[in-house]
Amino acid sequence: MIRIAPSILSADFARLAEEIRSVEEGGADWIHVDVMDGHFVPNLTLGPPIVAAIRPVTKLPLDVHLMITDPDRYIPAFVEAGADLISVHVEACVHLHRTIHFIKEQGVKAGVVLNPHTPVDMIRHVIADVDLVLLMSVNPGFGGQAFIPAVVPKIREVARLANEQNKKIDIEVDGGVNAKTAPLCVEAGANVLVAGSAIYNNPDRAAAIRALREVCTR
């Protein structure tokens, strides 16, 4: 089953509650929340107070993607704010194994994220510890960028690695996912698709979500 996780980065922040309700009613499975610190990535977005504010707005799981330096410092605040899944970048964690367990100890799911150029081998020894692997298919920082096709073989590699270790994980792809690129991701083994502009640029959110599902089940 394919899960669709709209990224609120492309939503109208002045009407965030409505924007979240529109995708929940439109059939979204998760809400993807992009946290940027202006240091790990060249953009600033939001922090725990916004996550806490949207928590009561939706029943959907909050999929929090931390694009920040030193995530350990802020993980408890995001847990407290109501995150269901917290993903950290391999490139931002010196002690990745410790960070993953720090997330799980607090009772939420843990994910690891790889930038487009980061080899899958970086997570070989932690894949057994995580609930999800998120592969970036753009350089993180902004919505609306073009999908980098070189990530498709990496999806296959992650699927193979998880299989070899008999580990059931979610494989999520983030960046430039639309009706053209989504089938490539799913065919390679992804089961969670993040989409920002492909969903929020369409006034009919249900139609945008349906279109993504349809191309993937063909």
Q: How far is the CB of 65 from Zn ion (least distance, A)?
A: 4
Name the site residues for ligand DX5 (rule: CB under 6 A): 7, 9-10, 32, 34, 65, 138, 140-141, 143-145, 174-177, 194-198
Task: Please list, in sequence order, all residues whose beta carbon lies within 8 angstroms of the beta carbon of residue 147, skipping any fewer than 6 positions away.
Answer: 137, 138, 175, 176, 177, 178, 181
Which of the ranges 69-77, 91-99, 118-126, 173-181 carries the binding residues for Zn ion, by CB under 5 A?
Answer: 173-181
C-alpha 32/C-alpha 160 separation (Å) is 25
Q: Please tell me whether residue 89 binds Zn ion under the rule CB under 5 A.
A: no
Active site residue 84: no
- Residue 65 annotated as binding? yes
Cα–chain-centroid distance for residue 99? 17
Nearer to ligand DX5, 16 or 101 (CB): 16
Q: Please tell me whether residue 34 binds Zn ion under the rule CB under 5 A.
A: yes
- Residue 141 annotated as binding? yes
Q: Please tell me whether residue 174 binds Zn ion under the rule CB under 5 A.
A: yes
Nearer to ligand DX5, 111 or 140 (CB): 140
Look up residue 34 and give its DSSP letter: E
Residue at token pair 């993903």: 87
Structural contact between residues 173 and 198, judged by C-beta atoms closer than 8 angstroms:
no
- Residue 137 annotated as binding? no
Q: How far is the CB of 166 from Zn ion (least distance, A)?
A: 28
Q: How far is the CB of 86 from ligand DX5 (least distance, A)?
A: 14
Task: Please list, in sequence order, all residues whose beta carbon lies within 8 angstroms of the beta carbon of residue 104, skipping any fewer than 6 positions away.
Answer: 110, 129
- Residue 144 annotated as binding? yes
The candidate with the shortest Cα–Cα distance to 161, out of 115, 130, 117, is 130
- Six-digit token string for 122: 């970086």
Residue at token pair 């992009």: 34
Active site residue 174: yes
Single out the catalytic residue among 63, 131, 170, 174: 174
Please return the burial class of 134, using the count of CB atoms within 10 Å of its CB with bins 0-12, 13-18 and 19+: buried
- Residue 196 annotated as binding? yes
Nearest residue relative to ligand DX5 (C-beta):
196
Active-site positions? Answer: 34, 174
